[in-house]
Structure 1
Amino acid sequence: MSSTAERPTLGLRERKKARTRASIQAHALRLFRAQGYQATTVEQIITAAEVSETTFFRYFPTKEDVVLQDDFDPVIVATLLEQPPELSPVQAIRRVLRAHFASLAPEQAEEMLQRLTLVVAEPALRAAMLDQNTRTMRLIADGLAERAGRPPTDLAVRAVAGAVIGVLMAALEAWVDDPAGDLPAIVDAALGHLERGLTL
């Protein structure tokens, strides 16, 4: 998920790559809205974005990746490492995600909601998201481990990272039930419940 907060200045080549990647995603999302995810082919996206097949697959190995991939996870983990040590792991993650959502430009927030809506609606994307959640959990575990001075294979570290991912999935399900709801507020409330110990 990419934040504009505290992002280092990119070089010309990196900015060009970022623009190409964003353009492909924008054209893909437009086509998905217009004719449906299943009815849209990679070839149609390539044509709309005016890129070569090689360029497309350099950025997105599969059609699912066009929806699922973003730069958010590395930025969030980097920001996690900057949080005050007196914060608990869940408090730190909650603070990072609250700041992340607040930093999104309106068009970034809209794109994120479009992609999440697609994920919810498409079984193939939901299945692919399970793999992505595992990768995200490992990234979070790496950040938590570094912050706590523990190995990322530590069971307690993995348990906290897994709990965070589970809570985020629950928040997404709650948002699906109420698409008019405020997703950042739902995420924050869900993490607050985790912070309080998941009591009922």
Structure 2
Amino acid sequence: MNLRDRQRAETRLAVQTHAIRLFTDVGYDATTVADVAAAAGVSAMTVYRHFPTKEDLVLYDEYDPVTASAVAAAPPGPLPARIGHALSETAAHGSSSEKAFLLARLRLMISVPALRARHLDSQYATADAIVAALGCPPEEEFRARATAMACLGAAHVALLRWAETNGEADLAGLIRETLTSVFERGS
């Protein structure tokens, strides 16, 4: 990453961090983009340059490329196992501050109806990244997409459970548990 890219990433993270704090402390609906810009010490235009919508301030993350790489590197096997392995591996990494940030974002996604609705869009984008990483022939894409969405749904249930435990539970373990429930016990 060159200097300019690092600076953009740092600005994006600073803006998002201030936004999450304000949304948590003041309320999502009560906080404006101008409030976020002022807290971050940037212009509203800078906020919009990094986050085209207010919802993106909460939903934006860089997990899709990481998840796609993990899917591509997963050991060969059935699709649910490959995708599940990638999702649990992705969840297993991250510092405690990254997990606290994820927990704050997740709590907002759970509690704000507009964010819950937009979260579904991000699930589709993640499924697209997973399907692309699998490199399936066109005749297998439907099955791969269905499996990816089922895995993401199970992972979402694990994230909700993780939030209920205040982030204390092992997130990767919860993801594995939900995937096992769906694909092994549910058969």
Fold match (TM-score > 0.5) = yes
Letter of the 2:107 partner, please give it: T
The residue identity in structure 2 corresponding to 1:119 is M
Q: Answer yes or no: is 1:124 the counterpart of 2:114.
A: yes
Unaligned runs of 5+ in 1: 1-9
| Residue 31 of structure 1 pairs with residue 19 of structure 2 | no
**How big is the shift at 1:133?**
1.2
Aligned-pair RMSD on alpha carbons?
Answer: 2.0
Higher share of residues assigned helix:
2
Query: Which runs of structure 2 are paired with 1:125-144 in the superposition (5 Å)?
Result: 125-144=115-134
Q: Which residue of 1 aligns with 2:48?
A: 57
Percent of aligned pairs sharing the same letter: 35
Matched residue type, 1:192: T
1:194 is the counterpart of 2:182? yes
Task: Tell me the distance in 1 between the aligned counterparts of 2:147 and 2:113.
Answer: 27
Question: In structure 2, do the counterparts of structure 1 residues 63 and 91 end up closer, same or farther at CA, with 3 Å as the change threshold?
Answer: same
Deviation larger for 125-134 or 190-199: 190-199
TM-score (norm 1): 0.84
Q: SS of 2:73's equivalent? A: coil
Deviation of the 1:46 alpha carbon: 0.4
Residue 151 (structure 1) aligned with residue 138 (structure 2):
yes
- Are 2:89 and 2:172, in contact at CA under 8 Å, matched by a contact in 1? no
**How far is 1:156 from its partner?**
1.3
DSSP 3-state at the match of 2:13: helix
- Is 2:88 the counterpart of 1:98? yes
Find the aligned partners of 1:48 and 1:137 in 2 and give their Cα distance. 34
Are residue 76 (structure 1) and residue 61 (structure 2) matched? no
Say which of 166, 181, 189 aligns to 2:153: 166
2:3 is aligned with 1:16: no
**What's the counterpart of residue 40 of structure 1?**
31
Cα separation, 1, equivalents of 2:139 and 2:21: 39
How far has the Cα of 1:175 moved from its partner? 4.0
Displacement, 1:61? 0.7
Q: 2: distance between equivalents of 1:128 and 1:19?
A: 24
Aligned pair in 2 of structure 1 residues 153, 66: CA closer, same or farther (>3 Å)? farther
Displacement, 1:176? 5.1
- Equivalents in 2 of 1:176, 1:66: separation in Å? 19
Closer, same or farther in 2 for the Cα pair 1:113/1:152, shift >3 Å?
farther
CA 1:163–1:56 in 2, change beyond 3 Å: closer, same or farther?
same
